[in-house]
Structure 1
Amino acid sequence: MSEIDLEFRGIKIDHLGMYFQELGAIQVTDTFPFIYEAEGWSGQILSEEELAFTAIFKVNAVKVRFIAEDEDTLMKVIKNYRYKTTRIGG
C-alpha cells in the first residue's frame, strides 16, 4: 500500500469530491473524512480549515489523502487529480 497526503487551497470541498468521482471513485461517507473508493485506489478528504493571510484575504485549506495498492497507481491518480485542481490565473 502506498499513501500520500496533500493540501489544496482555495478549492471547495464539493469540487474536490467531484474530482474523485470524475476519476471513477464512488463516495462512501457523507461526513469527515469523506471517503471515495475506486478499483485499486481510494481518496479521502480529511479536514478543512480557513487560513487568513490578511484580515480580508482568507482561503480554505483542505487536507486530502490518496491511497493505492502500488506506487505507480498512486502517482497516476495524483497526476490526474492535479490536472483537475489546476487553476490558471490571467
Structure 2
Amino acid sequence: MLQQELEFRGIKREHLGMYFEELGGKQITEQFPYIYKSDYWYGEILREEELSITSTFKVNSVHIRFHAKDDMTLKELIKNYRVKTRRIGG
C-alpha cells in the first residue's frame, strides 16, 4: 500500500475530516488517529498542533496520511483533497 503524509495549516480538523467524507470515506474512529475509509483508499488525521508564527499570531497544523493501493488512486485522492482545502485570498 502506498502512502503520503501532508500538513495543512489554518483549517479546522473537523473540516478536514468532512472533506474525506465528501470524497466518499466513512469515519471509522472517534479519536486520534481519525481514520476515514473508502473502498479504494483510507486517510488518517494523525495529530493537530498549534504553531506560533509570531508571539500573537498562532495557527493550527494538522498532519494527514493518505493511503491507496496504487499510485494513480493516491494521486487522484490527494488532488481531489487539495481542491477541497484550497483557500483563495481576496
Corresponding residue of 1:70: 70
SS at match of 2:64: strand
After TM superposition, the score normalised by the length of structure 2 is 0.99
The Cα of 1:40 is off from its aligned counterpart by 1.1
After TM superposition, the score normalised by the length of structure 1 is 0.99
| Partner Cα separation in structure 2 for residue 79 and residue 54 of structure 1 | 31
Corresponding residue of 2:35: 35
Corresponding residue of 2:89: 89
**What percent identity do the matched residue pairs reach?**
60
Letter in 1 for 2:18: M
The Cα of 1:82 is off from its aligned counterpart by 0.1
Letter in 2 for 1:87: R
* 1:2-30 CA distance string (max 9 Å, x none): 10000000000000000000000000000
| Partner Cα separation in structure 1 for residue 56 and residue 80 of structure 2 | 33
Unpaired runs of at least 5, structure 2: none
* 1:18-49 CA distance string (max 9 Å, x none): 00000000000000000000011000000000
| Partner Cα separation in structure 1 for residue 41 and residue 53 of structure 2 | 34
Q: How many residues align?
A: 90
What is the Cα-based RMSD across aligned positions, in Å? 0.4
Corresponding residue of 1:23: 23
Structure 1 stretches of 4+ with a deviation exceeding 4 A read none
Corresponding residue of 2:45: 45
Unpaired runs of at least 5, structure 1: none
| Partner Cα separation in structure 2 for residue 70 and residue 40 of structure 1 | 9
